[in-house]
Structure 1
């Protein structure tokens, strides 16, 4: 099909065989794979085509003829329109089962192996968990109304939504009020987004504005902030222009089992699900089997989310991070928590780091890796040179975890255990953790 040709309408009546890694139903028709959004295995549905390619097509459910016993009623009123969630028609218990299945198929398909032991799937709360988010803002002149929310599925339009069930309630319950507040601003047509950062004590909203705020605009935002107990920050251009509208507040989250409190800036990367993060840290520490003789390397360490709790149980730990600001905050967090056996270095772990001060001539017996979606293949190659015997790999992408697992096995590591963690309930996002060991 040429780029400019309009897709012809096509309706399928199909039976769903399984779930794809994106949470879409898989079926076959006319020698093509059909990926159907909103369908579950065992269902018979009528679907409308939305995309056509040589070997596959995509479709949306129009009608369910035969329903799966696993199907539930979506909690959100705009589910199916909003692009923020993709899994509300499946219970949280069955979502995590599907995610473990996807991780298992990634290991088998790419690494040709499975863990010796599957860890119990980890879940906490399924709703109101999300503390970091970027929401679109748009003024609709015809309706004289500002919309605030996630974008519609496969669209640049903002979903018309009054609340969000997955966002932390301090934000999710107040979308309509926030939209009304922005609608009163003189520059309402020049605000493309707000970014949320919610700590244990504060809710910060960063207002991206393309025109200067007037004194009246600032007064409107202040009043809204007082009403909702939120703190407005503003951003006129790049990240370096983020500043508090009135005065800065200190954002923190705690890791109580290890007596750690982490401070962070509004635009810093933090895990969106604080409760799940605490359980994940505990599991990582358990899998590493730490003792006071250990020398540990924490790669992609960020603010020190794993580094500082681990430091409580080892001789020394070294954290490596590519973002200079995060390295500075990690050092500050170590000082604030009275930790003196943790050190931090800035390094691009997608490059050869074998000549670095923290690498050259150093020995570590244990390591933790928590990379971005692209994985950690470059640093994986160097682990045997450091004498790493025990490795915990935290992943947000089963595909790159499986790819790196294949290489780790070639390098003499054994995949001992693995499991999934529901960091993003109601979505197809898969967070996982794996333990590898290697004999000297």
Structure 2
């Protein structure tokens, strides 16, 4: 059925939300204030929600702006409806407001943390809402010889000619690598590209069916064909990474501030894609933690994103990460300073430190953790048993963030501050930073 709707808000999944009687309807490509005609399948009896398709924008809302990308939004072209971003048509202040609401609603609904029960600071915006990504993952369309994103909720390729999320250097590298892969007779299933403005060079990770001597030779040919590509990481499904050239890049810790130094990075190792927003994320976390003069425990240290700045302020840092290339990069950058690295599971090691007794037992004045999307289930009791008086939790997933903050409250901590941070403009994703105190 086709129904008229007025879009009232943006949902955490990125769609616009309108109401038709008692039915809540989610419609992609819409913005707050839009009046639209939507095609909505007949809802099941008793259903409270439905998902519709945009048929016509009858009147634009106050939050709508013109999307600059030819691939964005619905349309008959096979290269429309790109799934790379969701909110390119939404004014940036409206995006920030929606992300703030989304994070605090997750804390209320999942964490049972009511608004007003903790100090909520304003969202930290990205320095650049466009052209901010220094790394991205693509699919390789062998037929077109291009690196592609998929159309929204499909596996149909969008043959990219531009992407307004990618930094200019990364976008140019994307355009060069796709045809060069075809010429080198390489057929990766996935490709991750990373670009360093500091080095003006890039690197790539290729997920391949197999990595053999002929494949390595073709990888060397790819490097010769794309001079801006410094190195490659080749990996077969379930296999160990093999390098060609030098895939380790130097990324500025704070773009525009050379005194902040650089950090080693590799395209197969997690690193924040938005370097400018990352500098703000790190500064926000360290300002809350106040690590000056403290023995600090850092869990899930990764490649040392927080470790380096922490080591400049803290008395010492004990940094924990599973053994692998991320820890290797962190050690290469920061070994020999006031940092001691521990290889292993972060929660298991935190619990082990908490069980230590006697004069040699490790104790910490502060802790910082930045776990992966699945969060850090069990972190509350682990911090309590360590006797850590304050901790900063950095999260990329509001649901697990809320779950874990609730566990920390139940373990005796209070939420002393929450700060949303926008790392991914034009999408619904939002980071959360929380200060926990006893």
TM over 0.5: yes
User: Partner residue of 2:16?
Assistant: 25
Question: Following TM superposition, by how much is the alpha carbon of 1:236 offset from its aligned partner in structure 2, in angstroms?
Answer: 5.3
Matches within 5 A, 1:27-426: 27-29=18-20, 31-49=22-40, 55-80=48-73, 81-110=81-110, 111-114=112-115, 115-140=118-143, 145-186=144-185, 190-199=187-196, 200-201=198-199, 202-210=201-209, 221-226=222-227, 229-233=228-232, 235=234, 237-238=236-237, 240-244=240-244, 247-255=245-253, 259-292=260-293, 294-335=294-335, 338-339=336-337, 341-349=338-346, 353-356=350-353, 361-426=361-426
Contact 2:378 / 2:404 at 8 angstroms: preserved in 1?
Answer: no
Question: Following TM superposition, by how much is the alpha carbon of 1:332 offset from its aligned partner in structure 2, in angstroms?
Answer: 2.2
Question: Following TM superposition, by how much is the alpha carbon of 1:108 offset from its aligned partner in structure 2, in angstroms?
Answer: 2.3
Question: Following TM superposition, by how much is the alpha carbon of 1:421 offset from its aligned partner in structure 2, in angstroms?
Answer: 1.4
User: Partner residue of 1:5?
Assistant: none
CA distance, structure 2, for counterparts of residue 126 and residue 295 of structure 1: 36
CA distance, structure 2, for counterparts of residue 90 and residue 126 of structure 1: 11
Q: 1:171 to 1:329 in 2, by over 3 A?
A: closer
Contact 1:351 / 1:378 at 8 angstroms: preserved in 2?
Answer: no
Question: Following TM superposition, by how much is the alpha carbon of 1:322 offset from its aligned partner in structure 2, in angstroms?
Answer: 2.6
CA offsets 1:48-84 (integer angstroms, 9 cap, x no match): 3489775532223221122211100111110121111
Question: Following TM superposition, by how much is the alpha carbon of 1:264 offset from its aligned partner in structure 2, in angstroms?
Answer: 2.7
Q: 1:332 to 1:173 in 2, by over 3 A?
A: closer
Q: 1:259 to 1:89 in 2, by over 3 A?
A: closer
User: Partner residue of 2:76?
Assistant: none
Gap runs ≥5 in structure 2: 74-80
> SS at the partner of 2:157?
coil
Contact 1:347 / 1:353 at 8 angstroms: preserved in 2?
Answer: no
Q: 1:301 to 1:70 in 2, by over 3 A?
A: same
Contact 1:127 / 1:425 at 8 angstroms: preserved in 2?
Answer: yes
Gap runs ≥5 in structure 1: 1-9
Give the stretch that moved more between structures: 178-187 or 366-375: 178-187
Q: TM-score, structure 2 length as denominator?
A: 0.86
CA distance, structure 2, for counterparts of residue 350 and residue 12 of structure 1: 51
User: Partner residue of 1:6?
Assistant: none
CA offsets 1:212-245 (integer angstroms, 9 cap, x no match): 657995686245312xx2235252514524321x
> SS at the partner of 1:178?
helix
Aligned length: 415
CA distance, structure 2, for counterparts of residue 215 and residue 20 of structure 1: 45
> SS at the partner of 1:137?
strand
Question: Following TM superposition, by how much is the alpha carbon of 1:186 offset from its aligned partner in structure 2, in angstroms?
Answer: 4.0
User: Partner residue of 1:4?
Assistant: none
Please give the root-mean-square deviation of Cα atoms over the aligned residues, in Å: 2.7
Contact 1:163 / 1:175 at 8 angstroms: preserved in 2?
Answer: no
Contact 2:124 / 2:280 at 8 angstroms: preserved in 1?
Answer: no
